[in-house]
Amino acid sequence: MAATDAGAGCAPAPAPAPSGSADDPLEAILDAIADPVLLVGDGRVAAANRAARTLLGEHVVGEDARIAIRHPAAAERLLAGASPADAQPTELVGLGGRDTRWEMQVAMLPDARRLVHLVDRSAGHAAEKMRVDFVANASHELRTPLSAILGYVETLDDEKAGGDVAVRKRFLKIMHDEAQRMQRLVDDLMSLSRIEAEKYRAPDTAIDMAGLIAETHAVLRDQRGERGRDIVTDIDESLPFVAGDRAQLSQVLHNLINNAMKYGRPGTPITVSLARGPGSMIRLSVEDEGEGIAPEHLPRLTERFYRVDSSRSRALGGTGLGLAIVKHIIERHRGRLDIQSTLGRGTTVSALLPPAPLRLSSNGNSTVTGSV
């Protein structure tokens, strides 16, 4: 260490690096900028930082700028003779990937070169699209049962149908079920917005997950008939408590076990396990033996209202919000959600949860080893 320092101190000053080499100060400055940045002179790319080369290709330096940034809107802005100095940023859709959105800002330098700065707006755009889709989907989900209720009210208003006791009873039952569906939907939507409102405040109560699983197990075994008796638990009792929100973790358990009950084969076990995960994390898993989920659906399952088979999920009383709620709760807990599934065999949904800090835990010796 000392020898290296002394060596460095005695070394002669390095000769100025040739332009374009790794030691070029301009290149070092450009590389330090996280966004893609290019210098364009006489219509050619004179320099491109690392982010720009990653986005557009290693070969862009020296290329015609319109070929380097292959986008019609960019080509127009980069044409020689144009005056982009006070122009608005240009939106480049699909640059470097199908669903991407970049904003290109061009500034004229005193030596007539142009500094091209690309800003990634894809995430903001995706969030905005999600918000618009969400409002449309929620309205649609609410309108369907509402239309059914209004239709039956009209029919019952008709003396002939409304006067018949059997018909009236049947229609009232349907109206009741549809109204309950709307209520479930509104409850789930409110639940989601509450979780989202709290997402920056990580829960910090020490929760005895093993106890919560045992409690949930007992309730479902008593309430859910034969399917409830298919639940089995596999719990490592030596684990520390979880840093969490009890009501929300109970909601996670209910949603995951309900899915396993609905989509697993009747008579096959639903295994709820609590085990040591990677690092100090604790892994909660719910495993079923059932129809499974095709791989193309897996990345979308936690989107709001996404269902593999919409009509079936609706017939089972589902809102399509269960896994979205689970995902948001796990994110609030600074955990991770993982869904593994094999068609025809079954599904395992796992959540990695952080342990409670040592002073909050009280679960025996293993708490000490598990949390340190």
Ligand X SMILES: Nc1ncnc2c1ncn2[C@@H]1O[C@H](COP(=O)(O)OP(=O)(O)OP(=O)(O)O)[C@@H](O)[C@H]1O
Q: Which residues contact 181 (CB under 8 A, 6 or more apart)?
A: 145, 317, 319
The correct pick among 248, 250, 347, 350 for binding ligand X (CB under 6 A) is 347
Our CB check for ligand X shows the closer of 134 and 306 to be 306
Residues 149-168 that bind ligand X (CB under 6 A): none
Our CB check for ligand X shows the closer of 45 and 323 to be 323
Q: Which does 189 bind (CB under 5 to 8 A by kind): Mg ion, ligand X, none?
A: none
Q: Which does 35 bind (CB under 5 to 8 A by kind): Mg ion, ligand X, none?
A: none
Instruction: Report d(CA 252, CA 216) in Å as an integer.
Output: 11
Half-sphere exposure of 314 (CA within 13 A, CB side): 11
Instruction: Report d(CA 74, CA 87) in Å as an integer.
Output: 12
Our CB check for ligand X shows the closer of 240 and 318 to be 318
> How far is CA 64 from each of CA 55, 61, 74, 248, 274, rounded to the nearest angstrom?
16, 9, 12, 56, 58
Largest CA distance in the chain: 105
User: Which residues form the interface with Mg ion (CB under 5 A)?
Assistant: 259, 322
**Strand ranges across the sheet with 270-276:** 231-235, 270-276, 282-288, 346-353, 336-342
Our CB check for ligand X shows the closer of 310 and 362 to be 310
In the complex, what is the shortest distance from the CB of residue 47 to ligand X, in angstroms, rounded to a whole number? Answer: 49
Our CB check for Mg ion shows the closer of 292 and 322 to be 322
313 sits near ligand X (criterion: CB under 6 A): yes
Contact between residue 277 and residue 354 where contact means Cβ atoms under 8 Å apart:
no
Q: Which does 40 bind (CB under 5 to 8 A by kind): ligand X, Mg ion, none?
A: none
Q: Which does 350 bind (CB under 5 to 8 A by kind): ligand X, Mg ion, none?
A: none
Contact between residue 31 and residue 49 where contact means Cβ atoms under 8 Å apart:
yes
321 sits near ligand X (criterion: CB under 6 A): yes
261 sits near ligand X (criterion: CB under 6 A): no
Instruction: Report d(CA 274, CA 352) in Å as an integer.
Output: 10
Q: What is the DSSP secondary structure assignment for residue 295, as one 8-state letter?
A: G
36 sits near ligand X (criterion: CB under 6 A): no
- From residue 272 to residue 291, the character string flagging contacts with ligand X as x (rule: CB under 6 A) and all else as - is ----------------x-xx
In the complex, what is the shortest distance from the CB of residue 260 to ligand X, in angstroms, rounded to a whole number? Answer: 5
Q: Where are the beta strands (DSSP E) in 42-89?
A: 44-48
Our CB check for Mg ion shows the closer of 184 and 276 to be 184
244 sits near ligand X (criterion: CB under 6 A): no
Binding site for ligand X (CB under 6 A): 255, 259-260, 263, 288, 290-291, 293, 301, 306-309, 313, 318-324, 347
